[in-house]
Structure formats: structure tokens, C-alpha cells
Structure 1
Amino acid sequence: MGSSQQEQYPLDVDAVREEFPILDRKVGGDVTTPGEDENDTKPLVYLDNAATSQTPDRVIDAIADYYRSYNANVHRGIHHLSQEASVAYENAHDRVAEFVGADGREEVVFTKNATEAENLVAYAWGLNELEPGDNVVMTQMEHHASLVTWQQTAKKTGAEARYIRVDDDGRLDMDHARELIDDDTRMVSAVHVSNTLGTVNPVSELVDLAHDHGAYAFLDGAQSVPHMPVDVGELDADFYAFSGHKMCGPTGIGVLYGKEHVLEEMEPYLYGGSMIRRVSFDDSEWEDLPWKFEAGTPVIAQGVGLHAAIDYLDDLGMENVHAHESLLAEYAYDRLTEFDDVEVYGPPGDDRAGLVSFNLDGVHAHDLSSILNDHAVAVRAGDHCTQPLHDELGVAASTRASFYLYNTREEVDQLVDAIDDARQLFA
């Protein structure tokens, strides 16, 4: 990549890519077979970041250093390693709180992913508070982590599940939202950024609507926190969830932000060690926040890794990350919409987050993904955990290319070239 082209990016992409060893991989052919002809392999083009992002060296090193230097359980030992691990684990909560604008570690609960964060609230709050006559309002573009969780919670409690329509441009019908959210609404759960359409939803307006009717608001930030500046205080959501593995961090850790006074009122989701202050044969008392929601041995190494990932993203600057992805999304949208036989879903390229879902006429998304894989282009094919949304779109599946801070225009061009090859094969 020449220096003149590099200057067009908000980030120094060459320097960024050097921190991600996996991006040097070549894929294709049977790479497990000794003596496989390397001519059959091609440089990896990783465009599946909405599913899982890649991990920079400094995050890998931080996790390895934990296991090599101070691997111990937290909050359970007086010895040096346990104290060191405890400090690191608590500092990780503090760092997350700072990153998303929470008031302190009391509002940051570590889970194993964003899905568990959603379930935590549904079980600890929903099953205890919802009843017949109440309703929960979601959107038609919800990820299954939200939709299925609240759908089933509503079934168990006799509450009604409602869904805000998505218009033909892939945006929420806010007039419909105002119709659905009423004085019987107890929870509004909405995705901040659609993982299928790339739509950035007007979540502040949804939060205000919920609060105007005395309801809580839960935002799914799995596709927003890794990609743009997020301040939960400004958004004023009661709950906000995201995952570490989509933001340069390790798998196995998610975050539930909750307003302190709301979390205080909730009962624990899981019981056992670490989340108790005192236990007798007759009753138990819960530990302070956030530990009362972190039963058992917690995600210590993952917390250390998430801390390092946040430091890395902060060093790059989330405004720069967002600008870089927006540039790529707009470029990909423009390139794909040049073709009459490609249907792109969601709003225009200058009004979406860093992903593009599409279909090539006459080619199933899974077949297209397989051909793209032959070109070493990694994308996602399927319903992206949004089956009801795909039903509304009238398609069984779509192909999704999703971008992150290490992707380039050249990789978008490689995607388009590979699609052209699929077009020729199925002509």
C-alpha cells in the first residue's frame, strides 16, 4: 500500500495490520496436509468481524502474561498471586466502566458473552417483575440473543412481546414504536446497531420513549461498542450489553452495564461461591455489586485480555475506528450496488455501520460464501441470528461482509472480484 493511498485512511492501516499475526496467514487447499502446494493458498481477507474480530499481539501477550506470571483465583486468597490477580480483575472492571462512561465498577458485570448478559436481566428481573397485562417491546431486527430471550420470558410470565416494524430502507418505523410503547410496557429491548442491516438505530429516542412510560430500556451494543464511541451515561439506558471477542478481546467474556440502583434491586441470576457475603443453613446474604452477579470462578484471564483490548482501542481512538469503518462500508455499498444482480439490504452506504449484507441473484448465500472462501475471502452466510428479520426481507439467508480497523479498500475490491467469479460460475 503506497503512502499516498495510506493517507486516505483515518488509521495507519499498515501499522495496525502488523499487530494482528493472523492476517499474515494464507488459506486455501488442504493446509493440514504436509507438502501441500503453497501455490494453492492465498492471503487471508478477513471480512467476518461482526461475528468475531481478530486479536492483536498485545492482547495475546496480556493473557499469556497472566497465565505465566500471576495465575490464581480472585477474592479467595491472601497469598501474593491471588492478590495480584484480584487487583487485575478489579482494574478490568474499572477500565470497562471508564471506556463506556459508567459511574464505576459497581455498574459493570462480567458475563461470558452478551447473550448471557441479556439472559441475566431476563431471569433476574424479567421473571420476577413481568406479569399478564405487561408488554415487552423489541424491534424486528433484533438478534436472537434479545428476541428469543424476551420472547420466552414473556411466554413464561404471561406478558406480551411486541416488535417495532422495519421500513423498506432498513430503518425503524418510529411512529410504530410510539404506538407500541405504552403505559403497560415494562421493558424496551433494542439493538443499537443491526448486525444484518448495518442500521444505527435512534436508541436515545427509544430510551426516552421507554422512560416516558415508566419502562426500562435495554440496549444490545455488541455491534456498537467495538466500532464507535459509546457513553452509557449519555444514552441513559438502564442496561447495555456487549462482548469482548468482537472488540479485539478474547472469547468467553461479555459485559452487562446496569444502573447501580437497578442492579441493587435485582436478585442474583446464579448462586454459589464469590457472590455471597454470609451463608447459614437458613439463608444467605449477597455480596456487593458487581460481584453478586458473578458467581463461581469468574472470567479472570478474559478480563485481563479485555482490559488490554480496550487500551488498544483507546490508543487508536474510537472516532478514528468509526471513521475508518464508515469509509469502508460506504465504499463496499457503492461497489456492490453497481451491479443489477446484487441486492444490498439496509440503509445507504453513508448511513450505516461497518457491514454490508447482500445476495447475488440466483446464487444461495451459502454457495456464494463457499466460492468466496476459495478466494480466501472470509464472510458470513446465513440468517446471522436474525431469522425473523430475514423472513420480513423475504429471503432465507444473506451474505455479510463486515469490516474492522485492519481492513482496506483493496480487500473490498477482492470481495467484489470474487463475487464476479461466482457470477460467471452460475451464469
Structure 2
Amino acid sequence: MKKYILIFITVVILLSIYPTWRYFSNAKIFANTVLNYASNLGQWTNSGISTSLNGKITVRNPVFTPNGYSQGMQADSMIITAQPMFLLKNSRSDLQDMLPENLTVAVNSIQLNDNADDLYQSLRQSALWKLQAGFAGSFGCSKEATTEYDTQSWEQIISTNQVYNFDLYYSRQNNGSIDTDITLDAENMFTSTWSGNLKSGFNDKQIVIRDLLVDKLYYYYLDYGFNKVKNKACSANYKGSYAAYRSKAENNIQEYLRTNYLKELPKEFLLWFHKSLQSDVEYNAIFEFAERQYLNKFFDMTQVDFLSQVKTEIGTTENDYMLVELAEVDYTKVDTERLKQELEQREEQKRQEELKRLAEEENKMKPIVHTIGGAKSTKVPLNNIASAIGKRVRIKTWRGRPVIGYLLSVENNLVELESIFRTGRARISVPLDKVSSVEIVP
């Protein structure tokens, strides 16, 4: 009799232990699935993976070296957050190619390592694209500067020891599309967020990550130190005069547009440009492609190519936007001989860029197919938004950018929430009648 009792107790213990063992085992498999996909962007290493019962998977001390670079990035941790039931109920084989209905990935305290400096220099040459949109004040920083910074000014603006943070959130919608937010944070400098609704280029249950389709991107920028440092470094090239730097920036932008596009910025947008250079500025924009683009094409675009292919609207308030339309050139004020020389230089530049594009096309990443599965994200009824007060939510409006933040109040026909970033925060009010959807996010 004792023998059967012992067997029964053993079976009960094993049955109680198995779900826990399965959960932790599956969590590690899923973490490796995420890393395996990311390995197509470059080389990854880490010092270990640990899991907690709330769905948080921690990858310790990840190091990432992007393809084509010798310099890499090292971080304190990567935290992957998924629904615990997604990790528990799916099989090991499913988790090797399945993505949950919603997912959060946070990479904390990222710094460039000292293996080389080519990645650091690429940020200079691209004017922080895609950490920032709008060339980050590079125009006119030195007298000839346009779409990239000069080395001397750059080294005064961005330290090689600058700390960055990265947050990704996505949520699959009922129509099969995927709402996505990517927040990039440079500590004590700035925060920027890219948001979009991605369509699957495959079918409703499987997606090819690199071949997702995008037609509109929402951009948000919050400055809390970068412009102050940048303005000081750039003004130093004009004997400390910020007004001289700003004037040269305007001149270089107009000259660049006349040379490359036979257009120039209208006066009303130049006033907005002046404002964008100021310290502690906050603004948002909508970028809309004429036709849907593959997401991989956006990743590969230079900032110049991107801005030339989208309709751009700049937020004048939290909910109103101004369409950026280039004006015709007033040739009575332009040195036509110099313009002719610059056009010839542009044609040669285009030829070189096309050769580079063709070479990169040969090395295009093979598509990776992932299956979507798991629990649905939590939607909040529009007639009961107040039930989510105190919780972290993602609000979509009928016109403006999606906003993630903690819901503070719903009163006087306004929804108020606070977006908290790593080293900055912003309080935002959205008219209740402009809210199209609300969902609770991890």
C-alpha cells in the first residue's frame, strides 16, 4: 500500500512540476527564436537567458555587431515580454517560428564598443538617421555642412560613450495588420518614436518580417538636451553666434533643395524649421508614401531618399498638421552658373548611388516566415475608457500618431495621458471624439 501511495505522490509532484518546467523551457526556446531572427541583421552574443513567471525573459549582456560593421553595441540586458500562456501552451516546435499576438522588447543601456569607430561615424554621416528624422540640425553646422556633420562638431555633440535605449511594441489587430511602435532614446539627449500599421505581405496567419508593407509612418520627437549641446557646438563654428548658425542652416537647406530638386522651402515652413532647432522642442510628423512600400525598403533608404518619396505633414499642435510643400525657385535670386555645376555633381552622385543600390540588392536578406499565434491584446471599449485609468495604454486617433502612456484622466471631453521615457516624459491631451481605439499594453 505504501508503495502505491509513494507512486501516487511522485506522479502528483511530477505533474505539478511539469507545467513550470515546460514554461521555463519554452521561454528559452522563444528567446532564441527572437535572437535567431535578429541574427540576420548581424552577429549576436549574450551571457545567458533567464525567465520570470510574468512572461518577462531577460537576455543578459547582449552584444550586437550589425552586418557590414566592425564596431558593435553592447547592452546591460534585453527584456522580451510575452503573454505567459503563449509560452506555456505552445509546443517547442511551434515556438521556433511563432510570434505572439502582442510583444514588447526592451534593450537597456546600449553603448557602442571600442572595437572600431565605423558605426559611430555612420551616425555622423547619416545625421543620426533613423534615431532622428530631419537631419538633426546638421545643415549649416559647419559652413559647408548639409546632410552630415563635420567630424569636429560631431565629436562635441555625441560622445562615444553615449547611452541609448530601444523599445519595440507590436500588437496584431483583428484585420490581420500589426500596430507597431519603436522608441529610440539617447539618455539626457532626446527620445524619438516611430509608429505604424504594418500589413502582412504573406497572409493573415504568417508574415515575412522583412516584407511587411507600410504606407504611413507617425513620428514623434522630444528634445531634452540634444539641441542645447548641438547648438553650442555648431555656433562655435560662427564665433559663438547661434543666429549665424541658424541663418547658415537655412541658406544651406535652400541651396541643397534648389540643387537637387529645383525647389525650395516656403517661408511658413522655414519658421517651423527655426523652432525645431530650439532646446526642449517637442513635435510630431506624419510621413505617407504614395504607394505601399516593403518595410525592408524603408530600412535601406537614406534619409534623402525617404523624404523625397513621402508626403510630409508637420504637427502644429497635438492634433493639427501642416503639409510640407516645396515652392518653385525664384531664379532671379539664384546664381545660375553655380546651380548648373551643382546639378552636374548631383547627376554623378545619383549614378554612384544606383551602383551602390544594385550591389546591395545582390546581398538582400532572405525572407523569414513567422506564424502568428497566442492570446489577443486587451481592447478597451470607447464608452468605458476611464476603466483603464492608471494603466499603460496605446491610444490611436482618427488622424494623429498613436500614443503610448499611462492614462491619467478622462474628463471634460479630453483623454489625458503621460508618456514616460527613459530620461524624459511628456503629458498629452487627446480630444475624446478623436480617439479611434484604446488597448492596454504590457
TM-score interval, smaller chain: under 0.3
Compare the two structures and name the one with the higher strand fraction.
Answer: 2
Report the TM-score when normalising by structure 2: 0.24
Compare the two structures and name the one with the higher helix fraction.
Answer: 1
Report the TM-score when normalising by structure 1: 0.25
Higher RCO structure, 1 or 2 (CA under 8 Å, sep 6+): 1
Structure number with larger C-alpha Rg: 2
